[in-house]
Chain A
Amino acid sequence: MNVRFLNPFLEAANEVLKAETRLSVTKGKIELEKSALTTEDITVLISIVGSVQGVAFYGLSYKTALDLVSRMMGQEFTEFDNLARSGIAEMGNVITGRASIILSENGLDSNISPPTVIEGHGAKVSIVDFSRVVVPLETEAGTITVHLALRESSSHQMDENFVQLVPDAIKD
Chain B
Amino acid sequence: MNVKFLNPFIEAAYETLLADAKTKIRRGELTLKNEPFVTNDVTVILSMIGKVEGLVFYSMDERTALSLASSMLGDELSEFNELAQSGIAEMGNVITGMASGKIADAGYESNISPPALLLGKGSRISTMDFARIIVPLDCELGRISIHLAIREGHHVGVASSNFIVPGKPV
Interface residues of A (CB under 8 A from B): 36, 39, 45-51, 53-55, 85-86, 89, 101, 104, 107, 109-120, 122-130, 149, 158-163, 165, 169-172
Contact = CB atoms under 8 A, between A and B. Distances in A.
Contacts of A51: 159
7 contacts: A85-B126, A109-B159, A116-B127, A123-B39, A123-B122, A124-B120, A125-B116
Interface in B128-156: 128-130, 155-156
Nearest to A43: B123
Contacts, number: 147
Interface residues of B, number: 47
Interface string B103-114: 000000101111
Interface of B: 36, 39, 45-50, 53-55, 85-86, 89-90, 109, 111-120, 122-130, 155-162, 164-165, 167-168
Contacts of B162: 109, 158-159, 161-163
B126 A49 contact: no
B127 A123 contact: no
A61 to B, nearest CB: 15
A107 B160 CA distance: 10
A130 B53 CA distance: 23
Nearest to A129: B86
A113 B115 CA distance: 13
| Chain A contact residues: helix, strand, loop or mixed | mixed
Which 5 interchain pairs have the tightest Cβ spacing? Answer: A123-B120, A120-B123, A47-B113, A113-B47, A109-B159
B109 A159 contact: yes
A123 B118 contact: yes
A114 B122 CA distance: 22
Nearest to A105: B160
A47 B49 contact: yes
Given A109-B161, A130-B114, A163-B162, A118 B47 contact: no
A49 B45 CA distance: 14
A120 B116 contact: no
A127 to B, nearest CB: 5
Contacts of A110: 159
B55 A114 contact: yes
B167 A111 contact: no
Contacts of B109: 159-160
